Amino acid sequence: MIFTETKLRGAFLLDLEPREDNRGFFARTFCQREFAEHGLKAVIAQANVAFSRRKGTVRGMHFQYPPAPETKLVRVTRGAVLDIIVDLRPESPTWLQHVAVELSADNRRALYVPERFAHGYQVLEDDTETTYDVGEFYTPAAEGGLPHDDPRLRLEWPLPLGEISAKDRSWKPLDQIEPELKRRMSVRDPRSS
């Protein structure tokens, strides 16, 4: 695999290194050793799949608070999405900055989403299927989210808004939850205790 770190520390694009022959190709999509060598959490607690019928559909912006923050390894196996991640680490110099990348069945690219990041995407083709290998179990009590159109995030979606869940429409804007978000997303240095 080819690991390329984005402008957001700890968030990586992963490209395949296919070994081709007359049958097609073979490539590794996950390796605990390679992930650990890049300082990434190499744990998969759950593997999930999302199917979206219509282009324009938006999913996100989702995250889980500590003590159950999630890492995600996101890949599209059918269709295409514009995947966006937002740094929610209060101590980070890239706090609230985002990265957007197209993931598709054609480019076979994956995105590694670190803990304490919001994640979401817009579907670019009908009948798109997205897989998530998640590093923490789904924990409803730790679940959080931000509106996909929160003006402070300045996210640009390429298509008119299509389907969006009632839950995703109900997230409170950053202006209303910022103090709580910062408090709950902060990581105390264990050396300071």
Task: Tell me the catalytic residues.
Answer: 62, 132
Q: Are the C-beta atoms of 167 and 130 separated by less than 8 Å? A: no
Kindly tell me the burial class for residue 21, based on how many C-beta atoms sit within 10 Å of its own C-beta (0-12, 13-18, 19 or more).
Answer: exposed
**HEC string of the chain?**
CEEEECCCCCCEEEECCCEEECCEEECCCCCHHHHHHCCCCCCCCEEEEEEECCCCCEEEEEEECCCCCCCEEEEEEECEEEEEEEECCCCCCCCCCEEEEEEECCCCCEEEECCCEEEEEEECCCCEEEEEEECCCCCHHHEEECCCCCCCCCCCCCCCCCCCCHHHHCCCCHHHHHHHHHHHHCCCCHHHC
